[in-house]
Amino acid sequence: SNQKTYADQQGYHLADIGFRKFSYLELKKATKGFSQEIGRGGGGVVYKGLLSDERHAAIKRLYNAQQGGEGEFLAEVGIIGRLNHMNLIEMWGYCAEGKYRLLVYEYMENGSLAENLSSNKLDWSKRFKIALAIARVLAYLHEECLEWILHCDIKPQNILLDSNFQPKLADFGLSKLKNRNNLNNSSVSMIRGTRGYMAPEWIFNLPITSKVDVYSYGIVVLEMITGKSPTTGFKIVNGEEESVGRLVTWVREKRGSSISWLEEIVDPNIGLNYDKSKMEILAKVALDCVVDERDSRPTMSRVVEMLQYHGND
């Protein structure tokens, strides 16, 4: 088992994870020659496929697997292969053959949160449940599993919904495992998340901690509440001054200036049919998550406590 310890030190061990290795031909056949593209990003293109055992799968084919993409590939396989949480996408297997690198995941029937926000399918109770579930899975990643894991790219495109609109977090291509004993190992600053969801510390090259995920989570929640993208420009009126600000600034400004701020920011698609006190808790928690000073942001387990305490129907 000497070899096994070596693999563990590398942060991945492929042999004893409960999923299988697929051949390239099997996956080519499953996807009908990679014909049905369902998404791209995170270093690859994702296709819908039908496995030989009749299960629908999402099959991700990584770009430039030969030039150094292998580290990212093994990171993703090694990390997800050992995690288990109802709100994490399940990985069924992989293919590493010649220059090919593919990952096989469960297929999520309702697509991404991003698609669903723009198509008006999500009522208030679904949105609240999604917010709470994603908080739970992030608390698990940051605080409960084997090693502390930062996702580093939380955004609506990486939150997938199953047939019951239960959310699952996907796309760990950028994850960094933070070893508990080595918390100041922050050589992570080469990675970049997605514009609009990135905490300010990315830009200032400060050490990256779990608080970057907290920030991105807050932005996603504000987007679920308002239906607006974080990079939209808003007219911000401050006394006589008018300026253009981002989503966060706009929500803060509304909260500070108007007693009916919630009604003014809520996504019209939600209608009037929502629990006002829960909505207020959710909005305040989201604003706490997106403060610039990372030490002032709550941990994800604290977010779960705040939402659970107030959110029990």
Catalytic residues: 153
Q: Residue 54 burial (CB < 10 Å; 0-12/13-18/19+)?
A: exposed
Two tokens at 166? 């239960």
Residues annotated as binding site for ATP? Answer: 60
3-state secondary structure of 102: strand
Closest CA to 81 of 173, 12, 154, 23: 12
* Binding site feature residues: 60
